[in-house]
Structure 1
Amino acid sequence: MLIYYNTVGIGDVLLIPLKEGNRDTTDFRKYGDVVEIYDTESNQINGYNIFNSSKYIELTDGKHELTEELLKQINEIFEKNGAPNPLEVDLSPKFVVGYVKSKEKHKNADKLSVCQVDLGDETVQIVCGAANVDAGQHVVVAKVGAVMPSGMEIKEAKLRDVDSYGMICSKKELGLPTSPEEKGIYVLSGDVEAGQPFKFN
């Protein structure tokens, strides 16, 4: 799971996105420097913003993988500010290296491919629209439950009547500074293997 700190663009605020929300039904509750963002219809918590975060925690600008240590520090901030609920998240990697075992043409869409992707501990089916995806590639996969840098949550989906469990990512979708203009998935090279976490920094 990724958290974000950008003093230049936003200010001294730590952003913790949890779920993709609907702007029309989004509101917030404030507990000191901690702002809880939630959905007014479901009461689902979509994320948190921690203002004046440099008072509590030292972070460089950019994306940060949420670790056990960072989670502990964030929950200490919550406690200091009287936030009623601790932050409880699944810290298993949501962005991992996948190995495309096979690629087949989608039965109902010319521009989509159906891929079987090895994630180390399981093989999942992912529908992909990138022209450059192919069997034998190592790629970056956002697993179900991952929250993209754009704020989009990856969910189980059915694309043109075919089940898809995750997303094979491009550099642009991952928010990488070296993103090329041309479209296409990020094909990894070098010493990588299926299942290992993808490191953003």
Structure 2
Amino acid sequence: MNAYYNEIGIGDVLLLVIKESETEETTVERRGDVAVLKNAETKETIGWNLFHVSKQLHLTGNGRIDLQEAQVDTLQSLLKKEGFDEVLPKASAAFVIGHVESCEKHPNADKLNICQVNVGSETLQIVCGAANIAANQTVVVAQVGAIMPGGMLITSSDLRGVASSGMICSARELALPNADNEKGILVLDGEKYKAGDVYTVRK
């Protein structure tokens, strides 16, 4: 589950994205300050809009935000109050530690590699163009929906015919000190970091 909040841009509304919809046709049911969005064909819940959310939570940030477990519990109580029985999934962090399980050459691009990256809760397929990428590395992953320090939004993409979900980050992309001296992706000490840990990015 990804959470987005932009009070200036869209008002005091928290957007929760549960699943990307393959169709633009959705249905909306609103009860009080809660609206559920469903795929019109499958009736599957794809997201929630929570209006006047500042009455329930103190939120900061502009774009994708990280929700704490206690905040998700508060939102769950709000859904129940309005008569919704669905259980919210755990919120996903924008930046997490990943372990590169495998790294194979892209069949249609000499400088790209297809990586399977364990981020704790799941394994993501990420296409990476860094020359130093390799299997068994511990890396920083920007998940879909993350906003990089430079302002770029991470989205799902198709790179030369291969699906890619997220980005393996370099020190420069993370705006780390002395990043200009570092080439390729940032490789971390696997003894100090484990897959799924939240990585805090300086804004």
User: Same fold by TM (over 0.5)?
Assistant: yes
Shift of 1:106: 2.8
Structure 2 residues without counterparts, runs of 5 or longer? 147-152
Q: Render the CA deviation track for 1:126-178: whole Å, top value 9, x for unaligned.
A: 45242345227532236xxx653469579xx9x86x8x89644348xx9x7x5
Deviating above 6 A after TM superposition, structure 1's stretches of 4 or more consecutive aligned residues are: none
Aligned alpha-carbon RMSD (Å): 4.2
Query: Match for residue 9 of structure 1?
Result: 9
1:122-201 aligned at under 5 Å gives the runs 126-135=125-134, 137-141=137-141, 147-149=144-146, 167-170=166-169, 178=175, 187=186, 192-200=192-200
SS at match of 1:24: coil
Aligned length: 185
8 Å CA contact retained: 1:34, 1:83: no
Query: Match for residue 76 of structure 1?
Result: 77
8 Å CA contact retained: 2:133, 2:185: no
SS at match of 1:4: strand
Q: Render the CA deviation track for 1:78-128: whole Å, top value 9, x for unaligned.
A: 133x24223331468785312446644234432321346565799x68452
Aligned counterparts of 2:26 and 2:120: Cα–Cα separation in 1: 37
8 Å CA contact retained: 1:99, 1:193: no
Q: Structure 2 vs 1, CA of residues 193 and 130 (structure 1 numbering), >3 Å: closer, same or farther? A: same
Aligned counterparts of 1:78 and 1:55: Cα–Cα separation in 2: 14
Query: Structure 1-normalised TM-score?
Result: 0.66
SS at match of 2:77: helix
Query: Structure 2-normalised TM-score?
Result: 0.66
1:18-29 aligned at under 5 Å gives the runs 18-22=18-22, 24-29=24-29
Q: Structure 2 vs 1, CA of residues 118 and 6 (structure 1 numbering), >3 Å: closer, same or farther? A: closer
8 Å CA contact retained: 1:101, 1:115: yes
Identity of aligned residues (%): 31
Structure 1 residues without counterparts, runs of 5 or longer? none
Shift of 1:196: 4.2
Task: Give the letter aligned to residue 96 of structure 1.
Answer: V
